Amino acid sequence: MTSATSDTIIWTGTYTSDGGGRAEGIGALRAHQDGSLEWLGTAVQAQSPSFIAVHPSLPVVYAVAEQRQMVQAYRRTGEFGLEPLGPPQPAGEATCHVAVDPRGRFVTAACWGDGQVLLYELDADGGMTGRFAAPPSADPHASLSPGRPRPSRAHASLMLQDGRIMTTDLGHDTLRVWNYVPGTGLVADHEVALAFGSGPRHLVQHASGNVFVVSEYSVEVFIIRPEAGTFELVFRGPATSGGSQSGDSAAEISLSKDGRYAYVGVRGTNIVSTLEVAGGGTELLPVHDMPSGGDWPRHHLVRGNWLHVAHERSDNVATFALDPATGLPGPLLHDVRTPSPTALIPAG
């Protein structure tokens, strides 16, 4: 693996014209040791590859084709080129997220449009083979909206430290925990219901084992803790120090390299909020909000002591240096133009 301080490649998920964007496919950036990023160009033409995942040991990349209801595997060629690996696999409506098993056994995909959670088994070369659909979500808050069923909106997958998989459902305000069974796919373990209307979007696991979740609609953070194999809600609080404004929607949550701070991007107000991880991973306390450096911070990446923020609407990635003592981002350090970036994923 390439160290965080060495030059490396970062793939950019994007929107192309079919998704209202200006990109041509998966993009490539070179990350330099001084924290700056260099736009290299389009690695491969693809249709709205809005999220990307990288195989843990093979030079293989997986990307959604969000508007085309597909997932495609790509093989790396040369310094930053990609080429299709096998045919695209069918997915669901508005497939918006992919994640790879740390052991390279499977890929999961979440579909915002119809709520599907899919699993694709992988062969020895990283190609996608068997396709399995997980059981659909049932709204635990159905009684709060009688006569108006809320649509399921699967949005992200997280590979947990214990080998299970956790997925978010924006529409049903739930976190679903799964076990992988070869030849069967995802088998339900249990669910955790969050606040009605919160909209859990993305999530990250802390070294404590607790999972931090950011909610898109309510712009909050939640912490769930594993107790005897079952996760339980232990914390709910604001995602920003200044509060959210009308039209705001939270996007990504990530951790500092030492796990002492979390960073939340908020679209609309266009800020990144720094939160202190307190109570041994049982609290998230907002410390500071700062301008994100562009319009619509869709995704961000902590790379060593650098914070890179991808702005979908202003076509740029802004870079900030993180203070090792306070965890706070400093002034804007570097800015690079890149078309419609929606995800920043290190090549490995």
Q: Is the pLDDT score of 99 beyond 70?
A: yes
- Whole-number pLDDT of residue 348: 85
- Whole-number pLDDT of residue 1: 35
| Backbone angles phi and psi of 17, in degrees to 5 | -60, -30
Q: Is the pLDDT score of 7 beyond 90?
A: no
First vs last C-alpha separation in the chain? 6
Quick one: average pLDDT of 248-267? 98
220-227 β-sheet, strand order: 200-205, 211-215, 220-227, 230-238
If one compares 181 and 6, the residue with the highest pLDDT of the two is 181
The percent of residues above 70 in pLDDT, for the chain, comes to 98
Give the confidence band of 259 by pLDDT, cuts at 50, 70, 90. Answer: very high
- Taking every pair of Cα atoms in the chain, the longest distance, rounded to a whole number of angstroms, is 56
Give the three-state DSSP class for 339. coil
- What does 124-159 look like in DSSP terms, one character per residue? TTS-EEEEEEPPPP--TTGGGSTT-PPPP-EEEEEE
Strands 249-255 vs 128-133: parallel, antiparallel or unpaired: unpaired
- Tell me which residue of 267, 262, 270 sits closest to 235, measured CA to CA: 262
306-311 β-sheet, strand order: 297-303, 306-311, 316-322, 329-337
Token digits for 257?
A: 């390299």
What does the alpha-carbon distance between residue 241 and residue 245 come to, in Å, rounded to a whole number?
12
Sign of CA dihedral 150, 96, 315, 238: positive
What does the alpha-carbon distance between residue 305 and residue 295 come to, in Å, rounded to a whole number?
23
Give the confidence band of 305 by pLDDT, cuts at 50, 70, 90. Answer: very high
- Tell me which residue of 53, 47, 51 sits closest to 18, measured CA to CA: 47
What's the number of CA atoms in the CB half-sphere (13 Å) around residue 200?
A: 31
Q: What is the pLDDT of residues 33-55, one digit of tens each?
A: 999 999 999 999 999 999 999 99
Residue 339 CB partners (closer than 8 Å, separation 6+): 14, 21, 22, 23, 24, 27, 315
Token digits for 80?
A: 């930053």
Bridge partners of residue 214, in order along the sequence: 202, 221
Rg (Cα) of the chain, in Å, rounded? 19
Q: What is the pLDDT of residues 231-243, one digit of tens each?
A: 999 999 999 999 9
Q: What is the pLDDT of residues 110-165, one digit of tens each?
A: 999 999 999 999 999 999 999 999 999 999 999 998 889 999 999 999 999 999 99
Q: Is the pLDDT score of 226 beyond 60?
A: yes
Give the confidence band of 303 by pLDDT, cuts at 50, 70, 90. Answer: very high
Q: What is the pLDDT of residues 157-176, one digit of tens each?
A: 999 999 999 999 999 999 99
Give the confidence band of 341 by pLDDT, cuts at 50, 70, 90. Answer: very high
Q: Is the pLDDT score of 320 beyond 70?
A: yes
Residue 36 CB partners (closer than 8 Å, separation 6+): 319, 333, 334, 336
Read off the pTM.
0.97
Quick one: average pLDDT of 163-190? 98
- Whole-number pLDDT of residue 211: 98
Q: In terms of CATH architecture, what is 50-193?
A: 7 Propeller (2.130)
What does the alpha-carbon distance between residue 52 and residue 97 come to, in Å, rounded to a whole number?
7
Q: Is the pLDDT score of 5 beyond 70?
A: no
Q: Is the pLDDT score of 85 beyond 70?
A: yes
Q: Is the pLDDT score of 6 beyond 70?
A: no
Q: Are 334 and 348 in contact (CB under 8 A)?
A: no
Residue 222 host element (H or E): strand 220-227
What does the alpha-carbon distance between residue 150 and residue 196 come to, in Å, rounded to a whole number?
11
- Whole-number pLDDT of residue 149: 95
What does the alpha-carbon distance between residue 229 and residue 201 come to, in Å, rounded to a whole number?
23
